[in-house]
Structure 1
Amino acid sequence: MAKQGSRGASGPPQFSGEEMICVIYGPEAYLQRHYLDQLRDAVTKSADADVDVLHFDGPAATLADVLDELRGIGLMQQRKIVIVEDADQFVTQYREALERYADGPTDASTLVLRPGKWNASWKLHKAIVKVGAVAKCEPLKAAAARQWLIQHAEADHGRPLAAEAASALIASLGNDLSRLSSELGKVAASGPVGELIEVEEVEALVGRASDEEAWEIQAALLSGDAGEAIEIVTELLELSNKPAELLTYFAADLVRKIHHAAVLLDAGEPTGAITKRLKLWPPDRASATLAAARRMGASEAARLLATLVEMDRRAKSGFATADRNLERFGVLFARGLG
């Protein structure tokens, strides 16, 4: 039997990469994505090869199709992850059959169920924790969210975060990790790497850098018109007095979403599930982002993101200016759309 990772529904999971069935559930979307990424990394490391990831839309999926995918391994393929999104109806309809599968699952694939709710008293739960893991994704309490912010500020952005500044973020935004992560990125982008983020910086930027301001530059990029993108950048810099580093963050956030959407589209995930997972809203913004993902593709989006990160690094090191970098990036983005 394969070595399992975390077997309970409390605390962060410790994936071994040999889990045959996993359940990732709960209302905290950021943790769901984070745990799914951790599982994918662990399986890839365990297999020592590329791992194919496939998505099924739970309400439309049949058990036969999912099991066929789990058991069907190509000649060159060693491991596969099969994810059933919005799996509540799927689990309800096929729970007894899933119990039988859990008694003897294939060790060549990992089944991931992503329902909204889960019952630890089920026989299915007990069968799954013997061969895999169950991860519950609940909102963090204020103290845990504050510690999470402090850790991620330095690990992800290279800037230490004062405890008072972390508390100010939570007081302003609540404890939704997706929103906290987004706003933390905006604040961190406004100053140099290594500089402490104080509460005054949070109070000055959070709320002022609204979603509408972010969308203004993102919409200009998505238009594919480099001239329009440069015009919007100039307007925000000179007339609205927005920091160039903040606008760089807005551009990077868009390219990350395009890359993530392109990867999920390539994996066959339904557009509705992608929209929900990446929080693409309202519908016109979701459509524009998904259209860009189809036109650009995952590899080009990854290349553009790496280019923008390098531009930002050079600007912060004094080798270029952030405003000039944004103008150059507008041209590169338009070319990437084709």
Structure 2
Amino acid sequence: MRKHATEFVGVVDAQGVPPVVVLVGGEQFLVRQSAAAIAGAIFGDDADEGLSRRNGDEVQWRDVHDELATVSMFASQRVVFVERADEFIKKNRPALEDYVTGPARNSVLVLQPKSFPGNTRLAKAVAKSGAVVECTELEGAPLARWLGATAKEQHGIELTRDAAALLIELVGSRLSQLESELAKLASCSSADRIDVEVVRSLVGGWQVQSTFDMLSALRRGRTGQALVEFGRLYESGEPLPKLMGGVVYVYRRLARATEMARQGKGLNEALKDAGVFYKEIDESNRYMRRIGRDAAEQILGRLLAVDKGLKGADDAGRLPDHLLVERLLVQLAGAV
């Protein structure tokens, strides 16, 4: 079978753990979660002690095979987890192909390579009698679904859709960091339902609040004040990609509202439907009318241009990163 880790951890149990499992991909949070689910299904409370970890850059196949074939004195099954297994698989591919067709009874071999092409004999054999578990990065809708499910199932809180979107923009897509922020939201908030306001107040400290103060100044046409706030953030060492997360969260919704208004929807209604924070709808309405439709229709393109610049995708005549962001703020303020 082949499943994504987010699905695999919810269905694996002691009877359903196949003799060979490949955890493929670079999202270490999902690798750890999948390995823990396998060990937990087999060993229960003694999961940490039951899992035998081996470094794929150092271990020999004969040692792994011997361990898999040896009956354990302390458990009914053995689980051998070969980490960093790319080179291990490359060196021992024929032996692994033979093993998959006749694995040791009551043992589970877990391999963790970064890549595992599905067109090889080994991959086809594992997919047929074992499991290939994709521990790849999540993005877009799958990431938002994971965030909402983890908030509910692991932390007992409900995360609104807009709150989830803001959290991703502020924190990024690394699951371990997002999970840490969910734990903080659950412990620091008295509310069971976490909305945008709660995320803004609890995630990121004063830097996040300062980012939203900076954006409010832009909407009110106070460009100088916005640049002062940006200077404070930049001098504090706030990473520009993280700062841009707040900018993108707010202005992507304004760009969406612009398109809705262009198609005939009333501006207030468009702002609401685009997900603009309810306390900022009136201010955003005045801002959009002040800068005019032509400037509003350039918002998305300007955000994308700065994103490309910060990622080094456009080096021609490139400004330093902080000046790219400063120029964007002046543009968004409607000053140019």
What TM-score, normalized to structure 1? 0.55
Cα RMSD (Å): 2.4
Which of the numbers 93, 96, 99 marks the counterpart of 1:98? 96
| Alpha-carbon displacement from aligned partner over 1:191-241 (angstroms, at most 9, x marks no partner) | 12x53112112112222289xxxxxxxxxxxxxxxxxxxxxxxxxxxxxxx
| C-alpha separation in 1, matches of 2:50 and 2:76 | 9
Alpha-carbon distance in 1 for matches of 2:206, 2:112: 33
Deviation at 1:53, TM superposition (A): 1.3
Counterparts in 2 of 1:9 and 1:209: CA distance versus 1, 3 Å: farther
Secondary structure of the 1:135 match is strand
Is 1:197 the counterpart of 2:204? The answer is no
Q: Residue 20 of structure 1 corresponds to which residue in structure 2?
A: 19
What runs of 5+ residues in structure 2 fail to find an aligned partner? 208-336
2:179 maps to 1:181: yes
Aligned mate of 2:205, from 176, 183, 208: 208
Which of the two has higher C-alpha Rg? 2
Aligned partner of 1:65 among 63, 66, 78? 63
Once the two structures are TM-superposed, the CA of residue 124 in structure 1 deviates from its matched residue by: 0.7
Q: List aligned pairs for 1:94-243, cutoff 5 A.
A: 94-192=92-190, 195-208=192-205
Structure 1 position 148, deviation (Å): 1.7
Q: 1:268 — aligned with what?
A: none
Match of 1:275 in 2: none
SS in 2 for 1:149: helix
Counterpart AA for 1:82? V
1:245-297 residue CA offsets vs partner (Å, 9 max, x unmatched): xxxxxxxxxxxxxxxxxxxxxxxxxxxxxxxxxxxxxxxxxxxxxxxxxxxxx
What is the CA-CA distance between 1:77 and the residue it aligns to? 2.9
**8 Å contact kept, 1:164–1:199:** yes
* In 2, Cα distance between equivalents of 1:29 and 1:182: 14
| CA distance in structure 1 between the aligned counterparts of 2:142 and 2:185, rounded to whole angstroms | 20
- In the TM superposition, what is the alpha-carbon distance from 1:75 to its structure 2 partner? 4.1
Q: Using a 3 Å threshold, how does the CA distance of structure 1 residues 195 and 10 change in structure 2: closer, same or farther?
A: closer
User: In the TM superposition, what is the alpha-carbon distance from 1:144 to its structure 2 partner?
Assistant: 1.8
Alpha-carbon distance in structure 1 between the residues aligned to 2:85 and 2:200:
40
CA–CA separation in structure 1 for the residues paired with 2:63 and 2:150: 39
Could you tell me which runs of 5 or more consecutive residues in structure 1 were left unpaired when the two chains were aligned: 1-6, 211-338
Contact 1:56/1:85 (CA < 8 Å) preserved in 2?
Answer: yes
Aligned-residue sequence identity (percent) comes to 35
The amino acid that maps onto 1:136 is E
Shift of 1:85: 0.5
The structural deviation recorded for 1:108 is 1.5
SS in 2 for 1:27: coil
Instruction: Sort the Cα spacing of 1:140 and 1:115 in 2 relative to 1 into closer, same or farther, 3 A.
Output: same
Q: 1:80 aligns to what? A: 78
Q: Which amino acid aligns with 2:24?
A: Y
Q: Tell me, yes or no, if structure 1 residue 41 matches structure 2 residue 24.
A: no
Please state how far the C-alpha of 1:129 moved relative to its aligned partner.
2.2
CA contact (8 A) 2:72 2:78 kept: no
Q: How many residues align?
A: 201
Q: For residues 36-77 of structure 1, what are the alpha-carbon distances to aligned partners after superposition, in whole Å with 9 as ceiling and x for unaligned?
A: 2222233347xx999821011110000011001101113453
C-alpha separation between the residues in 2 aligned to 1:52 and 1:35? 15
Distance 1:141 1:123, change over 3 A: same
**One-letter identity of the residue aligned with 1:202:** V
SS at match of 2:193: coil
Alignment CA distance shift 1:187-1:163 (3 Å): same
Task: Decide whether the 8 Å contact of 1:49 with 1:78 is kept in 2.
Answer: no
- 8 Å Cα contact 2:39/2:48 also seen in 1: no
- Residue 244 of structure 1: aligned partner: none
CA contact (8 A) 2:51 2:80 kept: yes
SS at match of 1:23: strand
